Structure 1
Amino acid sequence: MVDGGPSEGLLVSGDVITVVNGQPVSFSQQLINIVSSSTPGSTLSMHVEPFDSSLATARPTRDVQVVLGARDNDSSKGFLGVSTFTRDLSFRFPVQISIDSGQVGGPSAGLAFTLGILDVMTQGSLTGGLSVSATGTMALDGTVGPIGGIHQKVMASRRAGVDLMLVPSSEIDEARKYAGTLRIEPVDSLDQALAVLTTVGGGNLVLPPVGTMANAN
């Protein structure tokens, strides 16, 4: 919870948000996408339940309205002022995957990590041998969500000599302001990202049998 943020006094640690503006939410990324696509000053109506009603800080099930603030790094996007995670979320995978993210933080590398994993686990080059950068959050249903700091990400890609950059569709207009000669393509989903990569000779989605998959490190 951000001190002095839009949610202070309305939400508390341990709250579970189940509905936003009449739309059920089951995953943290769904809430993030709603907030990111909303403008500062707009109101989110949320149905909230306690994660554990026995906790001293727990509040009863209730409906709250939060007026969004603005992101520090992008004043055009809404800001809720809380950190979120998905309740009771767990997976069992057929392979062990570890990612050294270095100094990368936040969810904006979700698309890049997903494409990187697919590239390791499939034959050939997912990028057709080109230098490709990607930014965007990645939801469990394959939806690519909005991010912040697109200006800086585009400029970093240009400095790195990237041939093609994939960005969330919601960021394409801003991204192309700084693209120069860099080819930038908008995507709303993992499927769309792979479709773009097929245009440069990549995009292979034929996964090998589970028993033959190598560990991706």
Structure 2
Amino acid sequence: MAEFRASEGDVSGIAVTLPGMRVSYEGEALDEADLAPTWTKQLRQWLDDAIGAGVAEPNAMVLATADVEGRPSSRTVLCKGLDERGIAFYTNYTSAKSHELSTSRYASATFPWYALHRQVHVRGPVEKVPAAETAEYWASRPRGSQLGAWASPQSGIVPSRRSLESALHAIERRFADTDEVPPPPHWGGWRIVPDLVEFWQGREDRLHDRLRYVREDGDDWRIERIAP
């Protein structure tokens, strides 16, 4: 069995055996009768549970996209909108993820609540969030985050950290006499409009519960149980 050991510079000297690393999942059962009537209500319930359990960044989700050649990319973003239309997040429209979303018009996202032995997977086509909604969310952001969105050419190559900080200082000067910083024209929201939402509950002996809402014609949904 191969072992991965800490480098000589690491005084901890801890040996990590990856094949032997495992956690026993002993969560409560997730039965069809336990599910809320809609995926939105069920997701809100589990999000509330994550918040109540003190999970760090409970609205964090791993967003997966693909480029024109089908090469996948994933990164963590924050869910900033949840309603019957879908789940929304905000970003730079010139970023790599936005280019891929504009091309494929499809994405998936996973909420990884490890401490609760739970995860939720959302998949579906994407659409841009209307400008009015973007402006409303933008107004709630800290000023520093607003200025950072103006300064950063997200996903673009920068020569150094210093150049990025210089860009921020320039933006600070630009808006020094402005009480309300407007949203950049290249910044806004994306919404995943789900056609599938899966709720995963870890169970003993890896016989996990996996229940999913699947969109049928129109706004009708069916619930399926799938094997772990």
Structure number with larger C-alpha Rg: 2
- Structure with the largest fraction of strand: 2
**TM-score (normalizing by structure 2):** 0.24
- Structure with the largest fraction of helix: 2
Larger RCO: Structure 1 or Structure 2 (Cα < 8 Å, ≥ 6 residues apart)?
2
